[in-house]
Amino acid sequence: MRTIEVDQFEFDDPSTEEHLEIAVAERGNFPFPDIERFMSARLESVAGERPLLGDVMAFGDELGYGLVRGYLKRFAGVALPDSCSWPTYVLEDGPDRWEIVLCAPDSFVHYVWHTTA
């Protein structure tokens, strides 16, 4: 698993106090054959608890994911195709914290953005 942490000074406006963590892991093989094992491993290192994944939806820029697309490419080198409808779990969707798990064809991506501003 590859994990990238981005502090406020990497963003265009450091005064926004943004923080981003992106984890990317190959899917389908050991140690992450499925989404449940990936999230269990992620949350042991992040918060020590496992969330309820809930409903899955298709990734789409019309839902406000344009920044996600840009930040994934800019900070993690993950380029999403133009018509990306990959299964996506929204774990948190608030004004100060946004967390998703994206199920790409060959990998899992855990994306956690938050701000303290």
pTM for the model: 0.85
Tokens 């409808």, located at residue: 85
33-69 tens-digit pLDDT: 888 889 888 876 555 555 556 678 888 766 567 888 8
Residue 62 backbone dihedrals phi, psi, to 5 degrees: -65, -15
**Backbone angle region of 48, left / alpha / beta, with phi > 0 → left and psi within -120 to 50 → alpha:** left
Q: Quote the pLDDT of residue 21.
A: 96
Q: CA angle, 48 as apex, 44 and 51 as ends, to 5°?
A: 90
